[in-house]
Structure formats: structure tokens, C-alpha cells
Amino acid sequence: MAEKQADYRYVGKGVKRKDGVQKVTGAASFTRDMNLPGMLHARIVTSPHAYARIKSVDTREAEKVPGVRAVISGKELNYKVGLYVLDKDILAKEFARYQGEPVAAVAADSELTAEQAAELIKIDYEVLEPVLDPREGMKPGSPRVHPNLGEYGYMKGVFFPQAGSNIPHLQKVRRGDMKAGFSQADLVVESSFYNPQVQHVAIETHVSIVQALPEERVEIITSAQSPYTVRNLFSVCFGIPHEKIRVKVPYVGGGFGGKAGIHLEPLCYVLSKKAAGRPVKLTMTREEEFNTIPCRQGLYSHFKTGVNKEGKITALEVEYVWDAGAYADYGVNIGRAAAYAGAGPYEVPNCKVDSFVVYTNKVFGTAYRGFGHLEVLWGIERNMDIVARKLGLDPVEFRRRNVLMPGAETITGEKITDHHGRVDKCMEAVAAEIGWQGYKTDAERKKEIATGKVRGKGIALLHKAPAMPSFTSTAVVLKFNENGSLDLMTSLVDYGQGTYTALAQIAAEVLKMPVEKVNVPWDCDTSFTPYDWQTVASKGLILSGNATIMAARDCLRQLKSVAGQALRCSEEDLDIGDEHVFIKHNPEARVSYQQLAYGYVYPNGNAIGGPIIGRGHYMAQGLNNLDPETGQGLPALDWTYGAHGLELEVDVETGEFTVLKIASSFDVGKVMNEQQLRCQVIGGVIQGLGSAVTEEFRFSKEGKFLNAGMVDYKILTAKDIPAEMTQHMVETPQLDGPYGARGVAEHPMLSVPSALGNALYDALGIDYFQLPLNSERVYFGIKKGEKEFHG
Amino acid sequence: METTSKETIITVKVNNISYTERVPCNMTLLQFLKDKLMLTGTKEGCGIGECGACTVIMNGKSVLSCLMLAAEADGAEIRTVEGEAGEQGLTALQQAFIDHGATQCGFCTPGMIMSAQELLERNPSPDREEIVEAIAGNLCRCTGYEPIIQAVQAVARDARDARNARNRGK
């Protein structure tokens, strides 16, 4: 749908956010702010053990507390919930599989009453030996997190749970001939990396309000990213027909993937049902948000890279072992997506990737901005630097010789064309921006270290495609109002990305009307707003943008049809402008959108037409399932490529370092809104920097979560951001993107840790392999004084 | 202040409206604002004073309303985000937040605005470091802070320019 580059009125312009005023005045209402008449408040009781058999749950004392309306435990619930593998109970039944897993719940007149009653519930546990390291968990003799894995339902043809193991999915990619590839290599390098589990830390914690109504009807208000997915998973879980379930999503206080699936809704529903249909609200405390709500998976990665003297990769063997935690959730799909993206944005003729998703007895993983890619790129982009160095090549030059260029094929066999993005251009842009001139020499480094402060620069590339089913679709409805303004209806959720503003720009562009007259109601409602699969994967702008173009064109057809009759001419003779439909060769003869919006009325009172309602949909075209053995196929709607360049300064005495500058570049196809794009990039870069420098879950050897809260788990503050951040955009139009645009919501976060790790090498001559790269780790690396620091 | 063992009566002025309310002794100021006065603009992100989403201005100083009891606010003058925009429209700071893209999901925005507003009232010409210091207790996961800092800088710059223009006029 790339149209000829023209003088756009709104596309590419700095239109201000549609939700700005509501948010700066505090008027924007979030689920957390909402109360319904008769609403009860719920609290949960969670397991203090990483792995335990639940011997008994005694709720009798809790039930006696005045004001308590429902107490519930797992044994009375016979439902399974799951996105891709149906492995989770609403409340733990026989086993509690992670510390923080809900075991019982109370709904009461007030939150305080619910909390007091919850404290009276007695649970008797038999503590079991937990699986805490996925590398151990994948071994045959390991304890089983899910003894019944073989009996669970799952999405067939896409995922492959291994019965009798802790592996809910193994994704393989096989390309070329590994033996031949390594035999062509002049050098083989092996390296291993680790990412800990981390949290999204959206500032609004998860919260849901659910009411069980007569006739099996259900009303849900929830802080979710994907109203239709909540509805569908809810329907599957309870066997309630879709049309009886209404999911409403108001303003959402941040998601980042953490609110993509289904979370508290089923529990609120069973409590509401037990409390005679009163609405039940459950709000996670910040501690519960860490302990109970899913996180980003941990990852152990291993790379064996074969390269020849010309600096070309001849073979790459990769093993990813994901620390999925106790439930599969999105984790299995992350293992899948990260495998087909698992060689980085490079041409690798011979490639083997095994991506094992492994259950452990920890809080489970889910989608988190970038869906596995920050994790694999931590290893991939550090590995590229290490291999380049062993080859004696500049790391930018080494990448230059291997990046995916038009004509190359990805590891799943997708051919790169002139209409794909250009990762090389992104790399060159950031290299120029930070003044990359190669690593400093040992002598230069030594001299600088002697001054106590040493600077370093690093580059890292990135790529990501939306990870989504081959049949992902969306719809947009545009309805005209009597004053000629427009309502844009979508179930894509804008929880800050700015997509609604972009969609309004697109509608205004096609219909040549003021963007101010395109209204986007912020609430999504499955009973009124049309289908969207999920708000994830950086697919919002591309799919919903295309659907908006189609819906606007549908409006246009209807406007012209009625205008043609009103103006007594053929529709062919009509054009639009200035909110009017006019005759091309006689622009004076025109009717306004306002006159057409609800039907045109002739001077004598006769009327034609009717309310103008445009409909557009979009289906990702040509995607297919990956071959189960080789991973070959077309999984990607579009690839967005990018790069970061980073400069830092390290205090050699303390290991403290300051990130001075981060330069970022992405091939976005077409900039839709420059200001919002820059803001999106800055926000993502800082979130990525958080993953790089501070964030990690810490567990005791018994599997107790040691830093579940904002006191001990630090996200970056305003004090922690680099003095300089630059954003550069490449525009290689995507043929099927709206005006050529691609998604870039998640990408800014990716590879920031890798660029930091590479810059630390440049500064110190030390390779670090584990995240986060906090000053403590950097200090111990310096203190150890070796070229590699694996701690 | 009339106090019983579990409840107390307080009088506070919130956004220039006076309220006299009976509140539980253990009710936080945040709960009072949200649950009693239905002023839901102020947000709770952690409940333990770590995130700053609940920031309000009390007697001219920014405070974390989740860490204060409502009873402690007896006799105080409180400003919340709802009271900032007046009949003349948005404040300069609110407008700057929009102009600089300083809000994304919007959940931290009310607290962020109150922290920055308090700074601008006590120091109309803050430098970057002073701005960063003033909002360092307000966590934001979307914006990366830079657009927020730029919004506050813009307000300070405009105010400075206006002052200079006035001085030149004298």
C-alpha cells in the first residue's frame, strides 16, 4: 500500500497526541481508578514455596469474617487457562509451582476486610525439590514441574510439548550443511551468555473488574493489551460463548507485553460468581506484580561460529535454553520467534538453532517488549564483536561483510528484497554518529586506564519481525458524525505507543480532512469495537494502519456514491478536498461531508443515502507455519532493522560508569509522526538500558524471590539517562506497509545491552557475558584483571 | 481535630474547595483523595513511596500522598492534578507536556506534573540538574524522561523570556 511519495498533509507530520489533554489533566480514567456499584475487593493468598504439594486449604476462619462474600481455593475450580499450552489453573490445585502463585482468594466489601480474611486461610504444604536452573531442568532425571505435560491441550502444528520432560516447546531451525559449513571455516569461536529474568514494571499494576451476570453473561473491565484475546481465552477456559463475554479496556497504564494475555480476569469471575454476581475488583500490589504476575524469561545462550579468512560466517550453531518459569504462557512462542530470528540480521548459509523452552519453579515468563529478541541479541551481538576481534577485523567491518542485504536469504529461507529495510544503513549511521574508528589499541587503553577514567564505544545491530500467527487480522470502522467529523473504532489498544494518533493521521490523510476532526474513542469494547488480534509485536501501525486506509476508502466510495446522485454526475468525475466532494472540472459544484454524513437531503425534502460507516480489515498476507524439523517457512510480516552506537566512561577504581551517548537508527519504512517516533525510541532505549545496567530477579537457593519490589529492584530514574541520545531514521518503504511504514515499538529496547557490553570491552579490554552490567559486575571484572569475566 | 479511637474528622482544602470529612485513622492521604473525594487523577503505583505516582502539593511542597495519613493533612491546603488546569485552560507545564511528547501511557503523568510544577514555583529558572533532581523520585517506564525534562526546560525558558521582555520594557 505504499503510495507515491507525495505532499502529505498529515503522514510524517508532528501531530500532537490525541490523548494528551486527558492525561495531563488527570481526567484519563484507568481500570485502577474505577469502581462499580456493589463492587467487592479481592485479595489473594500466594505460595511461599517455589515448589510444593498442597495438602490442604482451610478457609473456615476466613469465611466467618464479617463482610467476606466469597472465599475460594483451587480444589473447587476445574478449569485450565493457557495461551498456547493449557497448563495453568486459576488457583493452584495439587501443586504450587512458584513462589507467588495464587492458591486461594477472598472477595469482601473492602480491601482491608479481604486482606484480613486472606490472612486467616490456612494452607498446609509439602515442600518439594524445585527446578531452578533450566539447564538442569531439561535433563532427563530432573524433577518434573508438570508431571502431566503430556495430557495438556496445546496449539497443534505450531508447538511441540515433549511429554515426560520439562520442555513445553523445542523450536528447531536447520539450514544448509553444518558439517560443510564448519569445514569451510578458518576459525571456530564458541561463547556463552546469560540474561536473568526481569519485569516490565508498568506503573499501573495489573487490575481487573469482573461481574458474572445472569444468562452466563460476563462483563470485564481490565488493564489489558488485547481485549479480544482476553475474551477468547476466557471463552475457552469457561466454555462461555464469545458473544456473552464483554471485555472493556479503558486507558491502560503501560503494558510492554506484560498485559498481552489473560491474567486476573478468570479469578475475578469465579469470585463474582460465588458472591452472587457482585462485581469483583482485584488490584495487584507492587509486590504481587513481581511475585505473581509473569515476567521476561531468563536465557542461557551458546554460540559456535565458523568464519573464514575473508570474514564471512560459514556456519553458526546456536543453543537457547529459556528459563520459562512455571507456566508456558507466551514463553513457548518466544522460544519459537527467537529461534527464527536467532542468527541476528546476518546471512548465515549453514545454521542450526535449537531453542528449548524449559519449565522451572519460578515466576513464569511472558511477552516483554521485543519478545525474546533483547535476550538473544545480547549474545548474538556480543558474539559478533568477539568473533571479529579473533579474526583481527574491525567489528563494524565484520558486520558489513555479513549483514542481510537484498538477494540474501534469512535462516528460514525468506529472500531479502529491495523492499526490506537496510540494516547496513542503520549501522553506518550510528557508527558515524558516535565517531566509530575501531577499538582502541592495547597501548591506548593502557594509557587511558592509567588516568583513572577510560572511555569506550560499542555498536550493536538488531532486527525483529512481529511474532504472530499466520492468520493475524484486524479491522477498523470509521463512522461519520452529523457535523462531518469521524469516529475511528478499533480494538487495538493505545497504552502509550501513540498508534491512535497515527491512525487518525492516516484517516485524515485519505479523506483529506482535518486530523482534529478524527476522534478516536479511547475505550475498547468487544461488544462495539471491531476485532483486533492483539496489541503486541509492533504490528499495530502496519495492520491497523492498512485497515484504516481501507476503511477510509470505503467511506470515500459511499460519499462519492451519494454525492454523484446529489450533483448529478458520474462518480468518476468526483474528487475530494476541504471536507467536500466536488466535480473535478467544476469544483464549485460540491457537497460537504457534513451534508452527506447521515444521508443527503435535497432542497425539496427528498433524501438519499444514509449514515456513512466505512469498514476496513487487514490480514497479514502469505505467512505460513514453520516446518517442525527445519524451521523453514515465512513467519515474518516485516522485519524492522536497527542499530545502536553507545559511548561510555568507566571509573577504573570503582567500576562505576556513565553512559555518555546512545545513537540509534531504524529503518522504519516511512516516518509517520516524527516527534512521537523520537519519543518512542528514547523511551525504549532507556527501558533497554534498564535491562542492561540494573534489572534482574534474584532468587535464594530454595527459589525464594529476593527482590520482589521497587525498593530492591531498580528501574532507571531521570538521573540515570545519558546526556545525549540521537535518533536517525532510514526510510526504505515497506511495500505492504501503510504509506510504506513498519512497526518500531519494541525495537528501540533491543541490543542496548549488547552495545553497552561492546563499549565496555573497548574501554576495559574485558568481555562480560552476563547481564545486568552493573558497576559491581564491572568492578569485579576489573579487579579480576582477566580478558574474560564470566561472573 | 476530633479523634475517636478509630476515626477522626479532618478539614482540608483540596484544589481550593474545603472539605470536612470523617476518616479512618489509618487512611492514607492518597486513599482519602481517591476513595473519599473521588479525585482519581492522583495515582498509586507502589504504595510505599518508591514511584512518585501519588505526588500532590501540600502547603506548597510536593509530598507522596501514599506515605501520609489523611489525618496528618488536617488543616492543610492540597493541590492535585485535577486543580491545575483552570478556566484559562491548561497550565504552561501541562501544555509543554503535550508539546514535547512527555506523556505516553499517562499513569505517571499526574505525579510527574505535580513534582515539576512545585519545582517551577519555588525555582522558576531551574537548570537541567535541578529538574532531574525534582523528578528523580517519579518513575516513568514509557518516556525515558528526556521529553519530560525538555518540557520543564521549555516552561522555564518561556518564563525567563517573558521576564526578560518585561524588564526590557521597563
**CA-CA distance, B64 to B51, in Å (whole number)?**
9
In the 8-state DSSP scheme, what is residue A756?
Answer: H
The torsion defined by the Cα of A240, A246, A250 and A255, in degrees rounded to 10, comes to 20
Q: Are residues A579 and A713 in the same domain?
A: no
Are A19 and B135 within 8 A, CB to CB? no
pLDDT of residue A2: 42
**Given B34, B42, B98, which is nearest A20 (Cβ)?**
B98
**Alpha carbons B64 and B48: distance in angstroms, whole number:** 9
Residue A572 has pLDDT above 60, yes or no: yes
Could you list the residue range(s) of the whole structural domain that residue A628 is in?
298-405+418-468+624-789
Nearest CA in chain B to A286: B46
- Name the domain boundary from A571, A598, A619: A619
A95-96 and A187-195 strand pairing: unpaired
Q: Does A181 fall in a domain?
A: no
Mean pLDDT of A750-759: 98
Please report which confidence band the pLDDT of residue B170 belongs to, taking 50, 70 and 90 as the band edges. Answer: low
pLDDT at A725 over 70: yes
Do residues A397 and A544 share a domain?
A: no
Percent of chain A's residues with pLDDT above 90:
98
How distant, in Å, are the alpha carbons of A450, A571, B9, B13, B56 from that of B17? 63, 60, 16, 5, 15
Q: How far is B168 from chain A (nearest CA, A)?
A: 33
Chain B residues in contact with A710 (beta carbon < 8 A): 46, 48, 50-51, 139
**Are residues A279 and A323 both part of a single domain?**
no
Interchain CB distance below 8 Å, B132 and A718 = yes
For residue A412, what are the CA distances in angstroms to A176, A339, A361, A564?
A: 11, 10, 33, 51
Give the three-state DSSP class for A506. Answer: helix
Separation of alpha carbons A481 and A597, rounded Å: 6
* Band of residue B2 on the pLDDT scale cut at 50, 70, 90: very low
User: Would the pLDDT of B4 be above 70?
Assistant: no
pLDDT at A179: 98
Beta carbons of A718 and B108 less than 8 Å apart:
no
Does A738 have pLDDT greater than 80? yes
Please name the residue of chain B whose CA is at the shortest distance from the CA of residue A290: B46
- How sure is the predictor about A6, in pLDDT bands with cuts at 50, 70 and 90? low
Residue ranges of domains in chain B: 2-83, 92-169
- The phi-psi region of residue A782 (left if phi > 0; otherwise alpha if psi is between -120 and 50; otherwise beta) is alpha
pLDDT tens, residue by residue, A240-286:
999 999 999 999 999 999 999 999 999 999 999 999 999 999 999 99
Average pLDDT over residues A379-389: 98
Contact residues on chain B for A678, CB-CB shorter than 8 A: 101
- Residue B57's nearest CA partner among B35, B76, B31 is B76
User: What average pLDDT score do residues B96-121 get?
Assistant: 98
A141-149's contacts with Cβ under 8 Å and 24+ in sequence apart are A142/A166, A143/A51, A145/A51, A145/A97, A145/A326, A145/A359, A145/A360, A145/A361, A146/A87, A146/A97, A146/A359, A149/A87, A149/A359
**Is the residue at A144 inside a domain?**
no
Contact pairs from chain A to chain B, CB under 8 Å: 162
Strands A657-667 and A724-730: parallel
A284, A207 Cβ separation under 8 angstroms: yes
User: Are residues A567 and A583 located together in one domain of the fold?
Assistant: yes
Cis before A772 (ω within 30): yes
> Tell me, what's the pLDDT at A1?
42
Radius of gyration of chain B (CA): 17
Torsion of CA A660, A666, A671, A673, to 10 degrees: -40
Confidence of residue B1 (pLDDT cuts 50, 70, 90): very low
Q: pLDDT digit string (tens) for A318-332? A: 999 999 999 999 999
| A13 has pLDDT over 80 | yes
Q: In angstroms, what separates the C-alpha of A201 from chain B's closest C-alpha?
A: 7
Identify all chain A residues contacting B67, using CB atoms and an 8 Å cutoff.
none
Neighbours of A651 (CB within 10 A): 16
Beta carbons within 10 angstroms of residue A185's beta carbon: 19
CATH number at residue A246: 3.90.1170.50
Which of A290, A300, A254 shows the shortest CA–CA distance to A364?
Answer: A290
| Nearest residue to A134 via CA among A301, A18, A304, A380 | A301
Indicate the residue of B82, B98, B147 with minimum beta-carbon distance to A26.
Answer: B82
pLDDT of residue A782 exceeding 80, the answer is: yes
CB-neighbour burial class of residue B130 (10 A; exposed 0-12, middle 13-18, buried 19+): middle
* pLDDT number for residue A767: 98
Cβ distance of B34 and A33 shorter than 8 Å: yes
Please name the amino acid found at residue A249: V
Report CB contact under 8 Å: A27, B42.
no
Q: Are residues A635 and A566 in the same domain?
A: no
Nearest CA in chain A to B46: A286
CA atoms within 13 A on the CB side of A384: 32
**How far lies A779's CA from each of A196, A655, A788, in Å?**
19, 4, 13
Q: How far is A289 from chain B (nearest CA, A)?
A: 10
Q: What is the mean pLDDT of residues A56-84?
A: 97
Distant-in-sequence, close-in-space partners of A204: CB < 8 Å, separation ≥ 6? A30, A31, A32, A223, A252, A253, A254, B43, B45, B105, B107
Average pLDDT, chain A: 97
| Sheet strands (E) in A8-155 | 40-46, 52-58, 68-73, 95-96, 102-108, 122-127
Predicted TM-score (pTM) of this structure: 0.97
The label of the residue with cell 542492561 reads A692
- Identify whether residues A24 and A120 lie together within a single domain: no
The verdict on a CB contact (< 8 Å) between B147 and A496 is no
Residue A196 inside a domain? The answer is: no
Chain A residue closest to B138 (CA)?
A: A717
Q: C-alpha cell of B32?
A: 482519602
Q: State the Cα–Cα distance between residues A143 and A659, nearest whole angstrom.
A: 43
pLDDT band per the 50, 70, 90 thresholds, residue A3: very low
Residue A555 to residue A489: CA distance in whole angstroms: 14
Would you mind telling me the total number of residues written for chain A in this entry? Answer: 791
A25/B145 touch (CB, cutoff 8 Å), yes or no: no
Least Cα separation, residue B167 to chain A (angstroms): 32
Q: State whether residue B21 sits within 8 Å of chain A by CB.
A: no
Query: Is B115 in the A-facing interface, judged by CB distances under 8 Å?
Result: no
User: Which amino acid, residue A382?
Assistant: R
CA distance A21 to chain B (A): 7
Q: At A614, which CATH number?
A: 3.30.365.10
Share of chain A above pLDDT 70, in %: 99
Instruction: Report the residue from A26, A33, A719 with minimal CB separation from B136.
Output: A719
Residue A209 lies in a domain: yes
Grid look-up 476522534 returns A519
Cβ contact B115:B134 at 8 Å: yes
User: Which chain A positions have a beta carbon within 8 Å of B108's beta carbon?
Assistant: 203
Segment (H or E) for A643? strand A640-651
Residues of A in Cβ contact (< 8 Å) with B39: 26
Residue A153 lies in a domain: no
Confidence (pLDDT) at A493: 98
Please tell me whether residues A510 and A632 are part of one structural domain: no
Of A120, A117, A164, A122, which Cα lies nearest the Cα of A139?
A164
**How distant is the Cα of A229 from the closest Cα of chain B, in angstroms?**
21
Q: How far is it, in rounded angstroms, from Cα A127 to Cα B20?
A: 52
pLDDT at B169 (0 to 100): 79
Tell me, yes or no, whether A714 and A610 share the same domain: no
For A689, the closest chain B residue by CA position comes to B144
Q: Are residues A336 and A440 in the same domain?
A: yes
Asked whether residue A637 is assigned to any structural domain, the reply reads yes
Contacts of A783 (CB under 8 A, 6+ apart): none
How many other C-beta atoms can be found within 10 angstroms of the C-beta atom of residue A410?
A: 27
More confident residue, B15 or B3: B15
Closest residue, chain A, to B34 (C-alpha): A33
In a domain, A141, yes or no: no
Q: Establish how many alpha carbons lie within 13 A of residue A781's alpha carbon, considering only the half-sphere containing its beta carbon.
A: 29
| Under 8 Å between Cβ of A3 and A739 | yes
pLDDT at residue B88 tops 70: yes
B101–A685 CB contact, under 8 Å: no
Are B41 and A25 an interchain contact pair (Cβ–Cβ within 8 Å)?
yes
Residue A7's pLDDT is 86
Together in a domain, A555 and A492: yes
Residues A609 and A711 in one domain: no
Within 8 A of B109 by CB-CB distance, chain A residues are 23-24, 26
Residues of B in contact with A202 (CB under 8 A): 105, 107, 141
Å from A143 to nearest chain B CA? 36
Q: Give the fold, CATH level 3, of B2-83.
A: Ubiquitin-like (UB roll) (3.10.20)
Q: Kindly determine whether residue B34 and residue A252, on different chains, have CB atoms separated by under 8 Å.
A: no
Min distance A426 CA to chain B CA atoms (Å): 22
Q: What's the DSSP call for residue A59?
A: -
Q: Report if residue A147 sits inside a domain.
A: no
Give mean pLDDT, residues A579-592.
98
Report the gap between the CA of B151 and the closest CA in chain A (Å): 12
Give the three-state DSSP class for A659: strand
Count of structural domains, chain A: 3
Beta-carbon separation of B81 and A25 below 8 A: yes
Q: Are residues A669 and A533 in the same domain?
A: no
Sign of the Cα torsion B162, B163, B165, B170 reads: positive
CATH architecture of the domain formed by B92-169: Orthogonal Bundle (1.10)
**Crossing angle of the two packed helices A442-449 and A752-764, in degrees rounded to 10:** 80
* DSSP symbols for chain B: -EE-SSEEEEEEEETTEEEEEEEETT-BHHHIIIIIS--TTS--SSSSSSS-TTEEEETTEEEETTSSBGGGGTT-EEE-GGGTSBTTBS-HHHHHHHHTT--SS-SSHHHHHHHHHHHHHH-SS--HHHHHHHHTTS--SSS-SHHHHHHHHHHHHHHHHHHHHHHHH-
Give residue-wise pLDDT tens across range A421-479: 999 999 999 999 999 999 999 999 999 999 999 999 999 999 999 998 999 999 999 99
Q: Per-residue pLDDT tens for A294-320?
A: 999 999 999 999 999 999 999 999 999
The owner of cell 518540557 is: B151
What's the half-sphere exposure (Cβ side, CA atoms, 13 Å) at B104?
32
B135 contacts on A by Cβ (under 8 Å): 718
Q: Is the dihedral of CA B140, B145, B147, B150 positive or negative?
A: positive
CB atoms within 10 A of CB B164: 10
